[in-house]
């Protein structure tokens, strides 16, 4: 009897050891992104036309030398918006690295700010999750800067700096500059008045509504 009990105990231990731990459950890589494309600073649709939305993974493959270069951008999924700007997309991510994935809107829309105005169109997303993203498209607008020298002193020069451009205005004159800018946005620019050997610098911010011309007067 004692031998039988010992044998059963040994057999039970052996079976438990053979069974081991259950294999780990693989992570869920299903990624869902849904949302809407709207005009910047509003909840209104940007356009009725279908817009291309794409998801990417940007990463550096193993054994790529150096901190820079060697990056790969891989298309993970794509979809189109409906006539009200809504979209929904699903894809299987490669892994759960939280900072490798993003979506972009890749359709050119007339009268909307291109990337050269500094409005990049990438929105980070998290793999393995369902998430909402609002894509804001920046509309174009126009800023008309009027300058008026009301206290002229010989040799006056007014320099206006906007983005990477500068405009020089000499003497007792009135000038107008018409600039294409971002709409529904507070645009920043500056001026430097050179007068009697001194330089007076001033910073400005002007909110410009979409698809409209905003007048701004500088008197000096």
Per residue of the chain (220 residues), give pLDDT as tens: 444 444 444 445 544 445 556 778 788 999 999 999 999 989 999 999 999 999 999 998 887 665 556 889 999 999 999 999 999 999 999 999 989 999 999 998 888 876 656 667 899 999 999 999 999 999 999 999 999 999 888 889 999 999 899 999 998 889 999 999 999 999 999 999 999 989 999 999 999 999 999 999 999 9
Q: Which domains does the chain have, with CATH numbers?
A: 30-137 (2.60.40), 140-219 (2.60.40)
Dihedral sign computed on CA atoms, order 38, 39, 45, 51: negative
Q: Terminus-to-terminus CA distance in the chain, angstroms? A: 111
| Nearest partner of 124 among 178, 187, 58, judged by Cα | 58
Q: Within a 10 A sphere around the Cβ of 184, how many other Cβ atoms?
A: 20
């Amino acid at each position: 009897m004692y031998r039988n009990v010992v044998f059963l105990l040994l057999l039970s231990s052996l079976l438990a050891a053979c069974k081991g731990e259950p294999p780990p459950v693989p992570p869920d890589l299903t990624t869902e992104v849904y949302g809407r494309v709207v005009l910047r600073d509003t909840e209104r649709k940007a356009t009725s036309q279908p817009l291309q939305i794409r998801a990417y993974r940007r990463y550096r493959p193993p054994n790529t030398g150096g901190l820079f270069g060697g990056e790969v951008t891989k298309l993970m999924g794509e979809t189109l918006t409906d006539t009200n700007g809504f979209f929904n997309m699903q894809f299987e991510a490669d892994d759960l690295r939280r900072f490798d994935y993003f979506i972009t809107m890749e359709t050119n829309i007339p009268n909307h700010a291109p990337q050269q105005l500094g409005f990049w169109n990438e929105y980070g997303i998290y793999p393995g999750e369902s998430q909402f993203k609002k894509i804001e498209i920046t509309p174009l607008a126009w800023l008309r800067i009027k300058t008026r020298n009301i206290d002229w002193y010989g040799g006056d020069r007014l320099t206006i700096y906007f983005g990477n451009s500068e405009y020089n205005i000499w003497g007792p004159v009135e000038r107008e500059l018409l600039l294409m800018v971002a709409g529904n946005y507070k645009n920043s620019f500056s001026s430097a008045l050179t007068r009697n050997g001194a330089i007076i610098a001033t910073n400005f911010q002007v909110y410009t509504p979409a698809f409209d011309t905003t007048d701004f007067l500088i008197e000096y």
